[in-house]
Amino acid sequence: MMKAKILVTGGAGYIGSHTVVELVNNGFEPIIVDDFRNSDRGVLNGLKEITGQDIQVLSVDICDKKALFEALEDVNALGVIHFAAYKAVGESVQNPLKYYENNIGGLVNMLAWSREKKINNFIFSSSCTVYGEPKNVKEVSEEMATGIANSPYGETKVIGETILRDFKKSGEDMNIVALRYFNPIGAHPSSFLGELPLGKPNNLLPYITQTAIGIHHELTVFGNDYDTIDGTCVRDYIHVVDLAIAHVKALQFLTKYSSSTVEFVNVGTGKGTSVLEMIQLFEKVSNQQLGWKFGPRRDGDVTEIYANPLKANNLLGWIPKYSVEDAVLHAWNWEQKLRKNE
């Protein structure tokens, strides 16, 4: 029996690679589209170790429409999972044009290709940044207003969701789910896949693990005067494997859906963890002290936000199985394995 092919843009990235594993685990045949500008080819070795398969890879810049259409000319797929985008909040504040050109141009081209190929199932990698700074509420649900992002990166996700709505309103016969991620952390429990940030990490947990392993002298905590439990920012941290599984659940939902739809779904645990709580959790899991200091606030950071995950639970049948402590342990195991192999 032929396996259904799923095109995964940015499939060599952090979330994309873990989703490729879960697609294989659920009987799909993923095809990675990635030009490796923001990822490492060593990821392909990790994918083979876990899946026992050589995953097909098409190396092309999705922002180059002519090259994209040529590279994918003979590809037919059941669906597209579109990850490929720049994602560093701070960098987007410094270089907004880079983010608008890449994140929006890539999405438009992938939708155009999907329309030409009559591909009916499309999953978009969105973000909780579309909610901006929630007013008088910390738990956010899909019914809340969006469009007030705190950074150009977040704005590209707001615009991306608007494009999906307009595309659907135009009468396109396509099922779409936009997954609004909260904060993915951790690594595959096997330690063959994990987060590989280029340069100094923008995300907290790899910054913690790299500091603990000796790559950085100390960790800087950006801001200690926020209106939170301990003055530091609070986030909804979700294990990357749970997030990967959510994409498979979304795909299964779309392929069973008879009439075309567009859905926006939070993917988070519904629980917040502060930066200091994350440091304490790491020290507990690793049994070592971490060097850190307070620094000034960082542009674009939201004070406190976590998901109302009921829609993901009810619509997709998705419930996370890993805890934040599991994610910290898996990230630390991954970091240690990386350095051992250097």
Residues that are catalytic: 153
**In angstroms, how far is the first alpha carbon of the chain from the final one?**
41
Q: Which of 90, 312, 124 is nearest to 222 (CA)?
A: 90
Place of tokens 């092309």: 60
- Cα(267)–Cα(191) distance, integer angstroms: 23
Contact 82, 12 (CB under 8 A): no
Which residue type does 42 have?
A: G
Tokens of 195: 């987060």
- Cα(164)–Cα(223) distance, integer angstroms: 35
- Cα(192)–Cα(211) distance, integer angstroms: 21
Strands 121-127 and 79-82, how do they pair?
A: parallel
- Cα(119)–Cα(72) distance, integer angstroms: 13
Q: Give the C-alpha distances (Å, rounded to integers) separating 60 from 63, 73, 84, 264, 280.
A: 9, 12, 11, 28, 42
Q: Which of 196, 210, 243 is nearest to 38 (CA)?
A: 196
Strands 273-274 and 234-235, how do they pair?
A: antiparallel
The number of beta carbons lying within 10 Å of the beta carbon of residue 3 is 12
